[in-house]
Structure 1
Amino acid sequence: MRITILAIGLTAVFLFTGPADQAAVASSLRETPLVRAVQRAQRAVINIHTEKNAEESNSVFGTTKRGRINGMGTGIVIDERGYAVTNNHVIAGVDTIEVSLNDGSRYPAHVVTFDRKHDLAIIKVEGDADLDVMTIGTSSDLMLGETVIAVGNAYGYVHTVTSGIVSSLSRDVEVNEEQQYKNLIQTDASINPGNSGGPLLNLDGEVIGINVAIRQGAQRIGFAIPIDEARNLIARLMSIEVLESKFHGVATKDIKQPELQELLVETVTTGSPGEKAGISAGDIIVRIGDVEVHDRVDLERALLGRTVSDEIPVVVKRDEEEQSLTLKLASTTRAQYAHGVEQPIETKPVSYERGGTWDVLGLRLEELPENQKSRVGPRYRGGMQVQAVRADSPAAASGIRRGDVLVGLHVWETVNTENVTYVIGHPQLKTFSPLKFFILRNGETLYGHLTLKNSISTP
């Protein structure tokens, strides 16, 4: 076959010389923007598989186990170290989490933190998983009728891809008396049980929403949390102040526009690490270490895991010129800064102090000695041994007893005194009630919930 080009105005019609040329062009026609978008995102999508008891009780004492329930969901990788965002309802109350990747490999994971009201949670994939960070778009310029793509673990069919359009914007949806959503994206891309927590993509392969709900009894009516709103919530969940009691002192604002996504410094706390580093209001934070910064999630994840002795390179844009600075974090929180002076942190034994674990939980705790760490096995790094339980306390009501090993409170491990102090002194402690706990007893992990009281008791 000979090749001929027929040009009419700006239109060209190609005739092909042979099968090889036809195959090449056919391949390019098949590789549509939708296909490229999925290829770009698939390594940053994780399938979540969960397990929990079929019957749950508020007390670990006397709980009857009637079997196990398997759950499923989807997550979006937001950091190379394994941090991923999903819906809180995917991981709420589960005992174990396992994730699978697009290459079929499987890894355990654990909950880092969550926001029940807005139905978002952060989990961390354990092990040496090969993960890509999802490319983040913006929901500020969504158009009715534009093509969107959902990727998720639909009914356990991992990495299911569906497509549709944006059907509506700013939908308010009430699931039940306890869960309501505001300002959701409505789409007709097929979303099924198991898609929860997965990405809603645009044709550039960027996340523009997090799939969260479907209309029961309807077909092709699904809803997603707009990504700009979700990223504000994720930043709070990833805050180093919340997760690690470290402080940078920089208050920022996300700038989200179709062609511009950047992080603006609004204020810097007097005397804070940010001020000492030379960061000023009006700066645009460009990069922290190796992380390119586009919003506050990038800021927090770039600082997560850093020690107070680390000298962290920071690049800011000021007056259209980039400047290199060095930031050193403080081991404190925003509340401990007053009048521009860093307040020292007081470390006290938690067992007997007023407002400590004896008062709040009804427990006297002691760190598990190094020579007894084998009691907790490879699953935990350590724990706090229960020395005494106060009568009529939340701990007593939940069946905790002397000899148990406390290995977790809420979403945090309890390896040492500082871990426990952090939880019971948390400014949002009341919102955690009932406070979930995990204990080891006779080699078995048990869990329950502590209903916290306002009254203070003496030992």
Structure 2
Amino acid sequence: MKMPPKTFPALATLAVFCLLTPCLEAGSLRETSAVRAVRRIAPSVVNISSEKTVSTENVLYSNRPGQKVSGMGTGLVVDRRGYIVTNHHVVAGVDWLRATLSDGSLHEARVVSFDRKADLAIIKIDVQRPLPEMPLGTSSDLMLAETVFAVGNAYGYKDTVTCGIISALHREVEVNEKQTYHNLIQTDASINPGNSGGPLINLEGDVVGINVAIRAGAQRIGFAIPIDDARRVIAKLIAVDRLNGTWHGIETRDDKKGQRRRLLVTGTTENSPAASSGLKNGDIILNSDKQPVIDAADFERSLLDRKAGSPIQLTIIRAGKRSTLTLVLGDSDKIWRAFGMRLQVIKSRELQKRHGNDVLEHYEGGLRVTNIRKDGLAYSNGIRQGDDLVGLHEWAMVNRENVDWVLDHRELREFSPVKFWVLREGKTLFGHLPVTSNAR
């Protein structure tokens, strides 16, 4: 019996569906959680190249120029404006630094801050568009034998992915007399030269560590800095009083355990913008100008590029209730806050040119008053713009750290006001400056 022609289209459709089904199933099987995890992290991974000059220590060739040595490493985008975290040893002492983004674009980079002991550094590139930031995980709930992946510029082969497990936690690793790492993650995911500064990620594609070291002579023994530890260091490296010239005076602690990630206020600096805002110990900061905040690094990022005097709206939880406070950023210059003057280091030769040869017998240098606030203590006690500050209390003033030292020592308030010496038109003048709690 012949089948009616009208049934052929239905059979043809069924046949095509049957043919396609194995392909669809094969594709879905291939796109595993591992593939999705690596795809998620890839846009925020940065390949770093560098060159440094290594001195040639050979008495026969003492005038020979140093040898040029190429370097490589990996970084992670921590802020869309071009801030990238990597290991300090990747960028230490380099002559130049370049960063290649996931789209293949090459950028000149510069080191903006670092912590040698923690072996972390922040480098900065200039960008025309926002960069994809790393997907942030937590190292607070890592499990032994948990699957992880290392991504990086291994031996210069960019975006190399290796797979392994969490082999151990809380490892202490001494590299040399000057460098010891604490609380490291141990993994058997292959970490090679060039991986330093790159991410260790979990099956979700979240960063749980920053790859840092391998065990020389051993196979499949690598180490990473837990991301929660790294984020605390990153917060200090991108702190606005360090990079932005502003100041808030909030003391905080990251509170992370599994899915609980929040920023706790542990105190405020006396006479600081934070104290004026009404923040209190125990407050939880949820948002900063509508930007979500889960740790101190997030909070500092939210304040980058904001100027002194800028009002910041903070959403907090206090005693279980949500409320909003206004934080007005201050100036990070302690000397400006305390005395109302800005200082610039000058050498002894400059003092000599300006005030005569006799000054060399008494002063090794000084600090020039480049700006002064008329309602500040310096002006009201006789210091003027253009004066050269050469002494404060019992010490010579040859750099800003000398003044900071005086301001940071509370016991000197017992001597307040302290004596100062300035040079003006070749004459040495003196007066007295109060050292108050505003100096903090």
TM-score by length of 1: 0.70
Partner of 2:162, secondary structure, is strand
Is 1:39–2:34 an aligned residue pair? no
Does 2:287 match 1:287? Answer: yes
Instruction: Decide whether aligned partners of structure 1 residues 332 and 127 sit closer, same or farther in structure 2, where only a CA change above 3 A counts.
Output: closer
| 1:263-302 mapped onto 2 (5 Å cutoff) | 263-302=263-302
Structure 1 runs, 4 residues or longer, greater than 4 Å off: 362-366, 420-427
- Show the 5 A alignment for 1:227-266: 227-266=227-266
> Which amino acid in 2 is paired with 1:136?
L
Among all aligned residue pairs of Structure 1 and Structure 2, give the percentage whose two residues are the same amino acid.
48
1:242 shift after superposition: 2.7
Is residue 198 of structure 1 aligned with residue 193 of structure 2? no
Please provide the CA RMSD for this pair. Answer: 3.2
SS in 2 for 1:136: coil
Q: Provide structure 1 residue ranges, at least 5 long, that are not aligned to the other structure.
A: 1-15, 352-356, 367-389, 396-416, 428-457
| Paired residue secondary structure (2:23) | helix
Output the CA distance in 1 between the equivalents of 2:399 and 2:280. 33
Structure number with larger C-alpha Rg: 2
Alignment of 1:110-259 (within 5 A): 110-128=110-128, 130-259=130-259
Unaligned runs of 5+ in 2: 1-15, 354-359, 366-387, 389-397, 406-422, 427-440
Tell me the CA shift for residue 425 of structure 1.
Answer: 6.3
Distance 1:224 1:187 in 2: 8
Distance 1:192 1:365, change over 3 A: farther
| Matched position secondary structure for 2:145 | coil
Residue 305 of structure 2 aligns with which residue? 305
Counterpart-to-counterpart distance in 1, 2:209 and 2:215? 17
The residue aligned with 1:380 is none
After TM superposition, give the deviation of residue 312 of structure 1 in Å.
Answer: 2.0
The alpha carbon displacement at 1:176 in A equals 1.5
Alpha-carbon deviation of 1:323?
Answer: 2.2
Distance in 1 (alpha carbons) for counterparts of 2:331 and 2:399: 14
Q: Give distance in 2, aligned partners of 1:300 and 1:365.
A: 43
1:42 is paired with a residue whose SS is: helix
Q: Which residue of 1 aligns with 2:343?
A: 348
Q: Aligned equivalents of 1:230 and 1:196: distance in 2?
A: 14
Counterpart-to-counterpart distance in 1, 2:352 and 2:88: 30
Contact 2:51–2:71 (8 Å) recurs in 1: yes
Q: Which amino acid aligns with 1:323?
A: S
Alpha carbons 2:145, 2:165 under 8 Å: kept: yes
In the other structure, the counterpart of 2:22 is: 22
Deviations for 1:364-395, whole angstroms, at most 9, x for unmatched residues?
A: 799xxxxxxxxxxxxxxxxxxxxxxx99x999
Amino acid at match of 2:151: V
Q: CA deviation at 1:34?
A: 1.1
Maintained 8 Å contact 1:238/1:301: yes
1:23 CA displacement: 2.0
Cα distance in 2, alignment partners of residues 273 and 283 from structure 1 = 16
2:84 counterpart of 1:84: yes
Query: Structure 1 residues 255 and 173 mapped into 2: Cα distance closer, same or farther (>3 Å)?
Result: same
Q: What whole-Å deviation, never above 9, does each CA across 1:61-87 have from its counterpart, x for those lacking one?
A: x97434521100001111010111110
Residue-by-residue CA offset, 1:49-106 (whole Å, 9 max, x unaligned): 111224379xxxx974345211000011110101111100000000111111122111
Secondary structure of the residue aligned to 2:343 is coil
- Describe the shift of the 1:273–1:92 C-alpha distance in structure 2 as closer, same or farther (beyond 3 A): same
Return closer, same or farther for 1:241/1:293 CA change in 2, 3 Å cut-off.
same
Aligned to 1:20, what secondary structure does the other structure show?
Answer: helix
Paired positions, count: 351
- Determine if contact 1:332/1:345 at 8 Å carries over to the other structure: no
Q: CA deviation at 1:177?
A: 1.7
Give me the whole-angstrom Cα distance separating, in 2, the residues matched to 1:31 and 1:116.
Answer: 40
Counterpart residue type for residue 187 of structure 2: T
Q: Is the 8 A contact 2:335 2:403 kept in 1?
A: no
Q: 1:218 to 1:282 in 2, by over 3 A?
A: same
Q: Whole-Å Cα distance in 2 between the matches of residues 186 and 313 of structure 1?
A: 41
Q: Calculate the TM-score normalised by the size of structure 2.
A: 0.73
Write out per-residue CA displacement over residues 89-143 of structure 1, whole angstroms, 9 at most, x where no aligned residue: 0000001111111221111110001111111111112232552111211111111
